[in-house]
Structures are given as structure tokens and as C-alpha cells.
Chains A and B, each alone.
Chain A
Amino acid sequence: LWGIIRNNSCYLLKGNGQTYSREPNNLKSKNSFRYNGLIHKKTVGIEACKDGKGVVLRTRNPHAKGKPSKTYTQVELKKGGRKTLSTIRKVIRGNRYRKDLKMAAVRRASALLQSQKPVTV
């Protein structure tokens, strides 16, 4: 699958000698096998909540194959920085769920939370 998608997807962004991938569950927006959000049976996605506060953690259900509506489980994490990050860490580490993405997930979440803070002059 990666062989098909790696060079050829609607999410692929190339330019200025850089390559990015815009698909929703890509933690680093990097076009790479490890970080790709479409290919793997287990993916971790972190997005901002729609109302602008908090972060949504999305994990993929490895058993729901071919059912896009049931593939993802979403959890809204709104309790604030420390709690959010530790929840993410626990979910990933505790369930042994894509441990290689743990730091990337935490970093993305903290970046999002940081951007949601009111700008201090």
C-alpha cells in the first residue's frame, strides 16, 4: 500500500525541497511510512477540538477493516495541558498502541494546546 501511496496521494505536498503529507492522522505531517495516517492498522491522530479548546485524540480500531465509519475512536481531551499529555502518554504506552508515535503525539498535542492559549503580549 505504501508503495502506491508514497508518491501519489491527494494529501501529498511537495515544494521547496520539502515533502509533507496532509492526511488527518499524520502526527508529524511527514510523508513517511511510519507516520502515514492511512496505511497502518493502528494510527494515532491528534487534532484541535472544533470549539478551539482542547485536543481530540483519535485512535484507529484495527479490527474494523473496511468500515470507515467505525474505524476511529475519538476522545476529547479538554482538561488542560498536563492532564491531556499524560492521558495521551498513558493511552499509547498502556495499550502498547504505536509506542513509536508516543513522543510525536505528545509534541503535537502540546503544540496545539500552546496555540490555543491566548497570546500574551
Chain B
Amino acid sequence: MASVGIARPLVSVRGLDGNSTGSNVALPAVFRTPLRTDIVRFVHTCIRLNKRQPYAVSELAGHQTSAESWGTGRAVARIPRVRGGGTHRSGQGAFGNMCRSGRMFAPTKIWRKWHKKVNIKQRRFAMAASIAATGVPAIVMAKGHVIDNIPEVPLVVDDKVEELKKTKEAVTLLKNINAWGDIEKVINSKRFRAGKGKMRNRRRCMKLGPCIIYKNDNGIVQAFRNVPGVTLMNVRHMNVLRLAPGGHVGRFCIWTNGAFRELDEIFGTYRRASSVKIGFRLPLTKVQNPDLKRLLRSEEIASVLRPSNRRCGRRSTQRKNPLKNPRVMARLNPHHSTLKRNKILEDERNVIKKLKKSEVGKKVVKKPVKKDVLKGGKVAKGAKVAQKRVK
């Protein structure tokens, strides 16, 4: 949306009952970071690889036999075969992948590169961008969170939340803020996972709900952790994987007062660099005012443009071919008609000329040519001429 320079509106802090306490916080500058979903997606996919545990096939698999090929002449394939019993088993270093109980092709090794290194700058950019996306209600709604009745986005709650001990209190708070709808959505989405994950201790899955970001854990984690769908994060240790789950920005976040204020410290503002992240300044937008409509209507631009032709003449519904349609041709090329006329007149003149020439001949030809003439008998003068011409 149109970000007017670096305007920082005030966000009011909500109390435990959901009503606004008196205090306000200026929106931290992080929320004005350009929303670079491409960077977020890239960083997300890379970072998600970093929690992987290696998997590999046993080194010895398929090699624990002493097998030798029987060679030729035995009417069997030349695959190394197990000694003794002679059952088809793969051999050491043999092409075991096609054999039953053989070694697989390219056995998986633990020294595969499991992790991906991401530049710090990119990681920080992604973090800032995903926080910024959290502050745009449209994006959060498009992600699927139910935030229709929330008092404000971003949602900031009084620090007393951090001291809650009981899940019951946590639930009451969420209901007071009208965030409970999102959690109901989570509860309704509990289902069995599709696929083999079921057999691998990942039987159930559900959607994600709000992410609660706090500054000091005085009980908040224990209070909220059993609420389905809720994720908890300390401001100082925030995770892109939680802020942009699936690589898609716009998770619904609930901030505590202290955490919200910390953001300016952690990420810095446009005026000062961050005190925590060394060498980090908030990324700038490429285009300060991306609102095209406004730009095109602004004085600076409109004064330079020619007045718009709203309706550049009616579009003709039918295009007429000038080569066939003389009127259209005349409209496009007025000289064409004179050219044409001249051509016609010239043609006529030529015709007349020809006629005259052939009339002289024609006159003779019209006279019945007697057989005598054809035989070469005495001919009238004109006839002679005609004969010549006829030839």
C-alpha cells in the first residue's frame, strides 16, 4: 500500500480485557520495510533446511557377502554371485542395484550438504520484511488468519500478559482481544496428515494460529503453549520460519508492549542504525511512493503531460480496405483518385490509338477477302497492305 515516506502512526496498547489502555507506541520503523516476498521465500527455504538430521543407508549394506562372478560358460548372467549356496546376491563392488538384497545405486551418505548458508544481510532483510508484512491486515487475512474483529493491526498487548501463569487466563485474553476466532480455525483444522508422516510420529497436523512475541518470559510461555496453534517467540530470538510459515508472509502476530518497543532497538530506525545487529540499517524502498494512481495525478507529473485524450475518436467498428473501397482510399490518399483518373484517361487514349491503327487495318480486313487474294492474285492496294498487317 502507499507508504507515505516514513510515517509512523501510533499504535494503541490493549489491556488484558481487550480495551485500550491509555498508552500508545509509535509504529516501529521495521514495519515500513519493503515487502520483499521473494527474499523472504528464498531465505525461508534455505533456513528450513538447517534443522535437518542426516539420513543415510548403512555403509555396509549390500556388501556383506563375498561373491564372485561365475564367469562365462555357465548359462547364467555374469553377475557376481554369492559363494556356497549360490543364491543371487550382490557382490562387493558389483552392480548390485539390480539385485535383490544388493546395494542401492549411489548409497546415500551422511556427508551430503544438509545445511544452507544464507548471508546475514539477506536473513535480516527477510526478518524485517516478514515483520512488516505482519502489520498489513490484508496480507494477514490473505494468509488465512481470522482477524475480522481484532481491534488493531499490529496488535499490541499490555506487558501484564507476560506474567500470566494459567492457560485459562491466556484463553480469556485471546477471547477479549477477539483473537479466539483464529484459534477456533486451528481447532477445526485438526486432521490426520496426508502421507507417510503418519507413520513417522507426525500423525496429526493443524493450521497455525497467532504468534505471540514477548520480551520477558514471566510465565507467558507456560500459559500459552498449550493453546492450539499458538507459537511463542522472544523478541530477541525471532525466527523467519515462524513469522512467514511456508515462505508466505503475513502471520498473525500479537506483541507485548515491551516486545513492540524493543523492535526499534533491535532493527534500528531510518535515522539510526540498529544497536543490536551490528552494521544493519533498515532496507530502503526502491520507490518511495508506489501508489501509481497518486503519482499520475500529482501536480509534478500532470503538469508535464499533455492533456489526456480520453476518447481518441471513436474506434471504427469495421476496417475498410482502401484497395477495394475507393472512398476510404480517397480519405487516406487524395492524390490517388487523380492518379487513377489519369490512368484511365491514358488507357482510353491508348485504346483509341490502337483502334485507329487497327481501324486502318480493320477496314481492309472487313472487306471480304476473296480467294483470289489469298491465292496471291491481283489485289487492291489496300488489300496488299492488309495482308501485310494481318501477318
Interface 0/1 of A1-39, CB less than 8 Å to B = 100110011110000000000010000000000000011
Contact pick for B142, options A9, A69, A71, CB 8 Å: A9
User: B48 contacts the other chain (Cβ, under 8 Å)?
Assistant: no
- A68 with B139: CB separation less than 8 A: no
Most chain A Cβ neighbours within 10 Å, of B11, B138, B147: B138
- B141 with A23: CB separation less than 8 A: yes
- A38 with B178: CB separation less than 8 A: no
Interface 0/1 of B247-258, CB less than 8 Å to A = 011000000000
- A69 with B149: CB separation less than 8 A: yes
Q: Shortest Cβ distance from A17 into chain B, in angstroms?
A: 23
User: A67 contacts the other chain (Cβ, under 8 Å)?
Assistant: yes
Q: Shortest Cβ distance from B20 into chain A, in angstroms?
A: 11
Q: Shortest Cβ distance from A7 into chain B, in angstroms?
A: 10
- B139 with A69: CB separation less than 8 A: no
- What separation, in Å, do the CA atoms of A109 and B9 have in the docked complex? 37
- What separation, in Å, do the CA atoms of A5 and B149 have in the docked complex? 21
- B150 with A69: CB separation less than 8 A: yes
Q: Shortest Cβ distance from A24 into chain B, in angstroms?
A: 8
Q: Shortest Cβ distance from B348 into chain A, in angstroms?
A: 62
- A67 with B151: CB separation less than 8 A: yes
* B residues in contact with A1, CB < 8 Å: 1, 136, 138-139
The residue in chain B whose Cβ has the minimal distance to the Cβ of A69 is B149
* A residues in contact with B1, CB < 8 Å: 1, 39
Q: Shortest Cβ distance from B230 into chain A, in angstroms?
A: 19
- A66 with B137: CB separation less than 8 A: yes
* B residues in contact with A4, CB < 8 Å: 35, 37, 133, 139, 142, 249
* B residues in contact with A5, CB < 8 Å: 138-139, 142
User: B265 contacts the other chain (Cβ, under 8 Å)?
Assistant: no
Tally of contacts, chain A with chain B, CB under 8 A:
55
Q: Shortest Cβ distance from B286 into chain A, in angstroms?
A: 13
* A residues in contact with B35, CB < 8 Å: 4
- What separation, in Å, do the CA atoms of A68 and B150 have in the docked complex? 6
- What separation, in Å, do the CA atoms of A66 and B249 have in the docked complex? 17
Known: A4-B37, A66-B137, A69-B178. A11 touches B142 (CB 8 A): yes
- What separation, in Å, do the CA atoms of A65 and B151 have in the docked complex? 11
Contact pick for B147, options A11, A39, A65, A68, CB 8 Å: A68
- What separation, in Å, do the CA atoms of A11 and B136 have in the docked complex? 17
The residue in chain A whose Cβ has the minimal distance to the Cβ of B37 is A4
The residue in chain B whose Cβ has the minimal distance to the Cβ of A9 is B142
A4-B139, A8-B37 given. 13 additional CB < 8 A pairs? A1-B1, A1-B138, A4-B35, A5-B138, A9-B142, A10-B142, A38-B138, A39-B1, A39-B138, A66-B11, A66-B135, A68-B152, A68-B153
Interface residues of B in 15-40 (CB under 8 A from A): 35, 37
Interface residues of B in 129-162 (CB under 8 A from A): 133, 135-139, 141-144, 147-154
- What separation, in Å, do the CA atoms of A4 and B142 have in the docked complex? 10
Closest CB pairs A-B (n = 9): A10-B144, A9-B142, A38-B138, A69-B149, A66-B153, A5-B142, A68-B150, A67-B152, A68-B147
- B149 with A8: CB separation less than 8 A: no
* B residues in contact with A11, CB < 8 Å: 142
The residue in chain A whose Cβ has the minimal distance to the Cβ of B147 is A68
Name 12 interchain pairs, CB-CB below 8 A, sorted by A.
A4-B37, A4-B139, A4-B249, A8-B142, A11-B142, A65-B9, A66-B135, A66-B153, A66-B154, A68-B153, A69-B148, A69-B150
Contact pick for B143, options A10, A65, A69, CB 8 Å: A10
Interface 0/1 of A104-119, CB less than 8 Å to B = 0000000000000000
